[in-house]
Amino acid sequence: MFIVVTGASKGIGLEIVKQFLADDENTVVAVARSSKELTNLYKSHPDNLITVFGDLNKTPTQNRILTIVKNKKAQVDVLINNAGTITVKAFEKITTKELQYIYATNVFVPFLLIQKLLPVLGKKNKSHIINISSMGGVQGSSKFPGLSAYSSSKAALAGLTECLAEEFKGKNISVNCLALGSVQTEMLGKAFPGYKAPLQPKQMANFIVDFALTGHQYFNGKIIPVSSTTP
């Protein structure tokens, strides 16, 4: 399979890449800003790991991914839009620049990357797009002060998922959204200092990888909460 994973330099994204690479039949394009961990990983997987380092908000980075896929004469079987960012700040103190950056990374990047990769999605076999959202973006879930920009952007990503599933009917593409609960990541530590999450990145990555490979057989256009707590 040919797989593209964004936000792949650490946490859940890095673990997703590692788990896909466990199967030598997979080729993984790992997209990230930071190169350290992925460069080390490449040394042990030079034949089936392709790294793209750059800002996904920039068109050249998106173009590079498309060029790689076309040069391999492949289709993207799985696209995992995992890249995301957060700011923790009182609503009245969030600047226009901060809000625009949150939405650019969490909403515009998945939108534009899917748009860019459409020519190499669903060409032969069904492609599965997975947008990684958050329980904070799910209607009716618990909300927290300081996360208005982050949670609302993740809600927008969930809405985009529903829209694309409808728009891509007949295109051999499934689109689903996983709304993750708390996982012990750097982002969680920033939002909730001192909080101990019930899951580690490796555990959540295991679920995401399995869902990426099989979920499109059962779901399309769904926002699926992945959390052990209610609401």
Q: What is the pLDDT of residues 205-214, one digit of tens each?
A: 999 999 999 9
What is the chain's mean pLDDT, rounded?
Answer: 94
Q: Does 212 fall in a domain?
A: yes
Residue 107, exposed/middle/buried by CB under 10 A (0-12, 13-18, 19+)? buried
Q: Which domain holds residue 189?
A: 2-226
Per-residue pLDDT band for 231 (boundaries 50, 70, 90) equals low
Question: How many CA within 13 A on the CB side of residue 90?
Answer: 2
CATH number, domain containing residue 56 = 3.40.50.720
Residue 96, exposed/middle/buried by CB under 10 A (0-12, 13-18, 19+)? exposed
Give residue-wise pLDDT tens across range 66-94.
999 999 999 999 999 999 999 999 999 99
Q: What pLDDT was estimated at residue 199? A: 83
Q: Does 198 fall in a domain?
A: yes
Say whether pLDDT at 160 is over 80.
yes
Q: Does 219 fall in a domain?
A: yes
Do residues 171 and 125 make contact, with C-beta atoms less than 8 angstroms apart? Answer: no
State the average pLDDT over residues 93-115. Answer: 98
Distances (CA, A) of 147 to 128, 139, 187: 29, 14, 12
pTM: 0.94
Say whether pLDDT at 188 is over 70.
no
Number of domains observed in the structure of the chain? 1
Give the whole-number percent of the chain exceeding pLDDT 90.
84
Q: Does 231 fall in a domain?
A: no
Q: Does 17 fall in a domain?
A: yes
Give residue-wise pLDDT tens across range 10-63.
999 999 999 999 999 999 999 999 888 999 999 999 999 999 999 999 999 999
Q: Does 181 fall in a domain?
A: yes
User: 10 in helix, strand or coil?
Assistant: coil
State the average pLDDT over residues 104-111. Answer: 98
Say whether pLDDT at 183 is over 70.
yes
Q: Does 108 fall in a domain?
A: yes
Say whether pLDDT at 186 is over 80.
no
